[in-house]
Amino acid sequence: MREVFGTDVVGSGFDIVGGEPSWAAVTALNEFYDRAEDLGGAVILRCGRPSGSPQAGADGGEDLDVHLITKWESALRRIERSPVVTIGMALGDCGGTALEALLATDYRIAAADVVLRPPLRGGQLWPGMVVFRLANQLSAGGSRLPILFGDEIPAPRGAEWGLIDEVAESVPERVAELQPLLAAYSGPELAIRRRLMLDASSQTFEEALGAHLAACDRRLRG
């Protein structure tokens, strides 16, 4: 399967259907965040495709190479460093690049029938940074099976494990309610807090102290 991104930009939203990375996907996502960061507020990543469509995250893309993967991972890292709030809206079958992007968002909402599908290649879990994010984000009660064996994760279980923040009956309505509320948190301070949070799992207290003190000093001077 080579279909990767729906690159439509509708208002403040962006569609990521799944599959494998492409150069078009990298360019479109970076351009979307160029515009989003100029405008500020909260943006929406719609991650996944309707249930019953060909499985996202399946093999494909003969031209996939480490250079492209590096650029794709950099685009995902940009989401995690952006001063805008990103709301992840999980849809139907959420796998491949859709799941990778969802795990980089700030607030994640899914319907109860959504399934998170770790990306596979050659029948094995893709060993990209999706493994890193899953390992760091799974709660203490989370299973190792999605990482070791690529097990699918139903949305309610994803919420129990800390991968989904909210399971809603009407995801579009809930996103519409949350977007203006979360937009108020956008800005440089959000990017700093997010960075401190993401770094916390890999740093000792002593290593983290300097960055936290610098953030406190910034606020005091603000």
How would DSSP label each residue in 192-216? HHHHHHHHHTT--HHHHHHHHHHHH
Residue 18 near residue 57 (C-beta atoms within 8 A): yes
Please report, in angstroms and rounded to a whole number, the separation of the first and last CA atoms in the chain: 50
Same-domain pairing of 105 and 203: no
Q: Which domain holds residue 30?
A: 5-183
CATH of the domain at 123: 3.90.226.10
Pairing type for strands 107-110 and 85-95 reads parallel
pLDDT at residue 57 tops 80: no
Same-domain pairing of 153 and 205: no
Same-domain pairing of 162 and 79: yes
Among residues 84, 21, 13, the alpha carbon closest in space to that of 5 is found at 21
Q: What gap in Å lies between CA 53 and CA 93, rounded to an integer?
A: 8
When the pLDDT of each residue in the chain is averaged and rounded to a whole number, the result is 88
Supply 88's token pair: 């992840």
Give the residue, 2 or 94, on which the prediction is more confident. Answer: 94
Same-domain pairing of 135 and 206: no
Overall domain count for the chain: 2
Pairing type for strands 153-154 and 115-117 reads antiparallel
The whole-number pLDDT of residue 56 equals 44
The confidence band for 55, taking pLDDT boundaries of 50, 70 and 90, is: low
pLDDT, mean of residues 149-165? 95
Same-domain pairing of 102 and 203: no
Supply 171's token pair: 């995801």
pLDDT at residue 1 tops 50: no
pLDDT in tens, 113-146: 999 999 988 888 899 999 999 999 987 677 889 9
User: What is the distance of C-alpha 200 from the center of its chain?
Assistant: 18
Same-domain pairing of 63 and 171: yes
Q: What gap in Å lies between CA 103 and CA 78, rounded to an integer?
A: 13
- Identity (one letter) of the amino acid at 85? V
Same-domain pairing of 27 and 118: yes
Same-domain pairing of 170 and 210: no
Residue 178 near residue 196 (C-beta atoms within 8 A): no
pLDDT in tens, 183-216: 999 999 999 999 999 998 888 999 999 999 999 9
Same-domain pairing of 140 and 207: no
In angstroms, what CA-CA distances link 141 with 52, 93, 119, 136, 156?
30, 23, 22, 12, 14
pLDDT in tens, 64-83: 899 999 999 999 999 999 99
The confidence band for 53, taking pLDDT boundaries of 50, 70 and 90, is: low
The whole-number pLDDT of residue 109 equals 98
Paired strand residues for 166: 109
Among residues 168, 175, 8, 204, the alpha carbon closest in space to that of 105 is found at 175
The confidence band for 10, taking pLDDT boundaries of 50, 70 and 90, is: very low
Question: What percent of the chain is predicted at pLDDT more than 70?
Answer: 89
Q: How many CB atoms lie within 10 A of CB 31?
A: 13
Q: What gap in Å lies between CA 71 and CA 20, rounded to an integer?
A: 13
Same-domain pairing of 157 and 99: yes
Same-domain pairing of 54 and 152: yes
Mean pLDDT lowest for which of 22-26, 38-42, 137-141, 185-189?
A: 137-141
Same-domain pairing of 217 and 153: no
